[in-house]
């Protein structure tokens, strides 16, 4: 089975950790290195495992899936993450 077939067959939920997180704050939170956009400061940060994939088997299609870096089959590619998830069944 290919990766997409495994995702559909086992009911796997997938998530990619964003490569950059951009936050917009009021100026009172301004710190050195922030960009300024009108009355707001923009702060960019790169997560520890940026771009990595996580997967887990879910029982329903609820959007309230909880993610845990230690339990959710973290891998650098989608296919590796899904393969880990299927092996843990």
Query: Per-residue pLDDT for 85 more than 90?
Result: yes
For 46-78, the pLDDT digits (tens) are 999 999 999 999 887 667 788 888 889 999 999
Q: What is the pTM of this model?
A: 0.79
Mean per-residue pLDDT over the chain, rounded? 90
What is the reported pLDDT for 32? Answer: 84
Domain residue ranges in the chain? 1-17+52-89, 19-47
CA neighbor of 81 nearest in space, from 73, 89, 10, 17: 73
Alpha-carbon distance of 59 to 27, in angstroms, equals 43
């Amino acid at each position: 089975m290919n990766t997409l077939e495994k995702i559909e067959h086992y009911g796997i939920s997938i998530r990619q950790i964003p490569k950059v997180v951009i936050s917009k704050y009021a100026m009172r939170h301004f710190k050195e290195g922030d960009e300024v956009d009108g009355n707001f400061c923009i702060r960019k940060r790169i997560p520890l495992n940026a771009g990595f994939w996580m997967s887990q088997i879910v029982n329903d299609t609820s959007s309230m899936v909880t993610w845990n870096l230690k339990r959710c089959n973290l891998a650098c590619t989608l296919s590796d993450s899904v393969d880990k998830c299927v092996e843990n069944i």
